[in-house]
């Protein structure tokens, strides 16, 4: 008997609430009461909210100056560039940096000339006549190094005559292994030569066309 009276006394307020607010539960009724008793808080601007232009003119000026485009980088057209391919001098190296098919491709891209040292492809069974038919210009070794803006090689430039023969400000593309040849990198930097190490190209799908290591595997 005492248990039933206790339950009735406990459920009494719930019944009263449901009767007072038909169609709503006790939780909804109490929630509405709490909301009605919440004091009014005036709006305050968030610290991360972007200020208006009229209120903060100095911020607007700074953002406008930062969004201005940088000065354009000077571009050298292909028609002003000469590509040179010297003969490899490393012992027992039989490869050549370019084939006659790629000579024709570079000329179609708009490069001015492709200079090939005479006999550069003989060890790879690529004759000088094939390079001439593709549009290359056969020259001697000194002309390749002195008149080329871009040098293509398999092996990196040999210390001494090859590095000294590089034009200042020219570009060389070859295997360099810069982590193992710090002295070579320093010598190229002293002559302001831009060097592309083909062995450092990441071996990922996006760079697969530049993966020279896979081509010679």
- pTM for the whole thing? 0.64
Rounded Cα distance, 177 and 85, in Å? 20
CA-to-CA separations, 39 to 36, 45, 90, in angstroms, rounded: 8, 19, 86
Q: What is residue 120's three-state secondary structure?
A: coil
- Asked whether the beta carbons of 166 and 176 are under 8 A apart, the reply is no
More confident residue, 22 or 146: 146
- Alpha carbon distances (Å) from 10 to 17, 28, 31, 91: 12, 18, 19, 100
- Which residues, 6+ apart, have CB-to-CB distance to 141 below 8 Å? 86, 87, 117
How many beta carbons lie within 10 A of that of residue 17, not counting itself?
Answer: 17
If DSSP codes are grouped into helix, strand and coil, which group holds residue 200? Answer: helix
pLDDT tens track for 38-84:
555 565 655 555 555 445 455 445 544 455 566 676 788 999 999 99
pLDDT, tens digit, 9 for 90 and up, residues 176-215: 999 999 999 999 999 999 999 988 887 777 777 777 766 6
Going from the N-terminus, what domains does the chain have, and what CATH number goes with each?
78-214 (3.40.50.720)
């Amino acid at each position: 008997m005492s248990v039933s009276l206790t339950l009735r006394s406990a459920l009494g307020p719930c019944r009263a609430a449901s009767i007072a607010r038909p169609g709503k539960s006790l939780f909804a009724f109490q929630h509405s009461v709490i909301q009605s008793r919440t004091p009014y808080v005036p709006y305050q601007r968030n610290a991360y909210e972007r200020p208006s232009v009229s209120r903060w003119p100095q911020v607007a000026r700074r953002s406008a100056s930062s969004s201005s485009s940088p000065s354009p980088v000077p571009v050298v057209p292909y028609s002003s560039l000469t590509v040179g391919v010297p003969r490899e001098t490393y012992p027992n190296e039989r490869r050549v940096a370019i084939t006659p098919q790629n000579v024709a491709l570079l000329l179609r891209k708009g490069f001015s000339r492709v200079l090939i040292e005479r006999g550069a492809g003989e060890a790879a069974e690529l004759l000088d006549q094939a390079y001439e038919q593709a549009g290359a210009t056969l020259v001697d070794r000194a002309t390749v190094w002195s008149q080329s803006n871009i040098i293509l090689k398999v092996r990196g430039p040999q210390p001494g005559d090859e590095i000294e023969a590089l034009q200042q400000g020219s570009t060389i593309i070859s295997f360099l292994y810069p982590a193992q040849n710090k002295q070579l990198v320093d010598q190229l930097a002293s002559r302001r030569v831009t060097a592309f190490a083909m062995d450092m190209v990441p071996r990922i799908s996006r760079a697969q066309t530049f993966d020279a290591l896979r081509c010679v595997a």
